[in-house]
Chain A
Amino acid sequence: AQKVTQAQTEISVVEKEDVTLDCVYETRDTTYYLFWYKQPPSGELVFLIRRNSFDEQNEISGRYSWNFQKSTSSFNFTITASQVVDSAVYFCALSDENTGNQFYFGTGTSLTVIP
């Protein structure tokens, strides 16, 4: 069965600190996709990144970076030099071929950046 675990429920950091959000997933499929979404207080889920199971290259986008490791079934997300605007709930999600476009979401990590 598919499952996504985000063990960190809440994290608080002081502005300009780096922070890593953990995501561990389970799936029996060899072809799957992993996603990160940000949910600010307005409620909309904002797409951050998509990764397929065949591409283990790490990715950097500005202050954001992602570390995908199939060996440990992890897809961690790091924010460098955090800012107050990064405060939000972050969700990791998994989809695979057998479940169509259904996303299995983790429970989310609430990040608070303190000025």
Chain B
Amino acid sequence: KAGVTQTPRYLIKTRGQQVTLSCSPISGHRSVSWYQQTPGQGLQFLFEYFSETQRNKGNFPGRFSGRQFSNSRSEMNVSTLELGDSALYLCASSLRPYRFEAFFGQGTRLTVV
């Protein structure tokens, strides 16, 4: 059974640009969550999608957005990149929200220069 797939694995972008990250959850999983991991702030919740609906959003500016498609694949977008957006972005999938364990992908390492 394939795990959670995140693409690309590494990205280098310039300040002011925008970026789109992709996450393919485990087959049959309908809940996808996104997290940002930085040395200073640790793991912080970005947002969660279930059945194409955003159910929950963390405390991030509107530059961070996401969506989920009918096949449960999800994308997150960051517009007008800032140096502070450099981080490891992790996607997690689970059968359904809340009480089920989440399985994480290997993440996308974004560097903003």
Interface size on A, residues (CB 8 A): 25
Contacts of A42 on B, CB cut-off 8 Å? 106
Report B94 CB to chain A, min CB distance, Å.
Answer: 6
Of the four ranges (under 10, 10 to 19, 20 to 34, 35 or more), the interface on chain B belongs to 20 to 34
Tell me the total A-B contact number using a CB cutoff of 8 A.
Answer: 69
Once the chains are docked, how many angstroms separate the CA of A10 from the CA of B97? 31
Contacts of A35 on B, CB cut-off 8 Å? 101-102
A interface residues, Cβ below 8 angstroms from B: 33, 35, 37, 42-47, 50, 52, 91, 95-97, 99-108
B interface residues, Cβ below 8 angstroms from A: 31, 33, 35, 42-43, 45, 48, 50, 55-56, 58, 88, 90, 92, 94, 97-107, 109
Known contacts A100-B48, A101-B33, A101-B50, then 16 further A-B pairs from the complex at CB < 8 Å, ordered by chain A residue = A35-B101, A43-B106, A44-B107, A47-B103, A50-B100, A52-B99, A95-B98, A100-B55, A101-B31, A101-B48, A101-B55, A101-B56, A102-B56, A103-B45, A103-B92, A105-B42
